[in-house]
A and B are shown apart, each in its own frame.
Chain A
Amino acid sequence: MATPSNAPVATENRETWTSNTGFILAAVGSAVGLGNIWRFPGVAYESGGGAFMIPYLCALLTAGIPILFLDYAIGHRYRAAAPLAYRRIRKPAEALGWFQILLSFVIAVYYAAVIAWAMSYFVFAFDLSWGQDTLAFFVGDYLQVGDPEISTTIVPGIAIPLVITWVAVLIAIALGVAKGVEKVNVLFIPLLFVAFIGLVIRALTLPGALDGLTEFFTPDWAALGDLDVWIAAYSQIFFSLSIAFGIMVTYASFQRRKANMTSSGLVVAFANSSFELLAGIGVFATLGFMAHQQSTQVSELEGLTGPILSFVTFPAVINEMPGGTIFGVVFFASLIMAGFTSIISILLGVAASVGEKFGLGWRTSAVSVSAVCAVLSIGLFSTTSGLIALDTVDQFANNVGIVLSAIVMTVLLVWVYRRGELLRQHLNAVSTFKVGKWWIVLIGFVGPVFLVIMLVQKLVSLVSEGYEGYPGWYVGLFGWGTVVFVIVMAAILTAIPWKGRDQADFRPWPELEEEHR
Chain B
Amino acid sequence: MTGISIAMMIVAMIIVWGGLIASILFLRRNPEVVGGPHEDPDLVLDDEQRAHQAHPTRDT
Contacts and interface: CB of A to CB of B under 8 A. Distances in A.
A219 B6 CA distance: 10
Nearest to B58: A30
A345 B59 contact: yes
Given A33-B60, A263-B26, A270-B20, 4 more contacts: A24-B27, A242-B58, A247-B56, A511-B37
B30 A433 contact: yes
A176 interface: yes
Given A254-B51, A433-B30, A240 B60 contact: yes
A270 B19 contact: yes
Given A277-B13, A433-B30, A362 B5 contact: no
Interface residues of A, number: 71
Given A254-B51, A266-B26, A218 B4 contact: yes
Q: How large is the interface on B (under 10, 10 to 19, 20 to 34, 35 or more residues)?
A: 35 or more
Contacts of B24: 24, 267
Interface stretch (A317-325, A346-354, A435-443): A346-354
Contacts of B38: 510
Nearest to B54: A178
Nearest to A347: B56
A16 interface: yes
A432 interface: yes
A346 B57 CA distance: 8
Contact of B32 (A242, A274, A432): A432
A377 to B, nearest CB: 16
Nearest to A177: B54
Nearest to A54: B8
A405 to B, nearest CB: 15
Contacts of A35: 60
A257 B33 contact: no
Given A254-B50, A270-B20, A430 B36 contact: yes
A31 interface: yes
A219 B1 contact: no
Contact of A362 (B32, B40, B53): B53
B28 A17 contact: yes
Contacts of B36: 258, 429-430, 510
Given A257-B47, A267-B20, A218 B5 contact: yes
A223 B49 CA distance: 51
Given A16-B31, A267-B20, A251 B1 contact: no
Interface string B2-34: 101110110111011101101110111011110
A214 interface: yes
Given A263-B27, A345-B59, A214 B19 contact: no
Interface in A417-437: 429-433
A65 B57 CA distance: 17
22 contacts: A24-B28, A31-B58, A35-B60, A50-B5, A213-B9, A219-B8, A254-B50, A254-B55, A258-B32, A258-B39, A260-B31, A263-B23, A267-B27, A270-B23, A271-B20, A277-B17, A341-B57, A345-B60, A348-B54, A348-B56, A429-B37, A509-B39
B43 A254 contact: no
Contacts of A366: 54
Contact of A239 (B2, B12, B20, B60): B60
Contacts of A431: 33
Given A210-B1, A277-B13, A342-B60, A258 B55 contact: no
A178 B20 CA distance: 28
Interface string A297-318: 0000000000000000000000
A213 B54 CA distance: 41
A217 interface: yes
Contacts of A256: 47, 51
Contacts of B13: 277
A260 B23 CA distance: 13
A214 B5 contact: yes
B9 to A, nearest CB: 4
A206 interface: no
Given A20-B27, A217-B5, A267-B23, A277 B56 contact: no
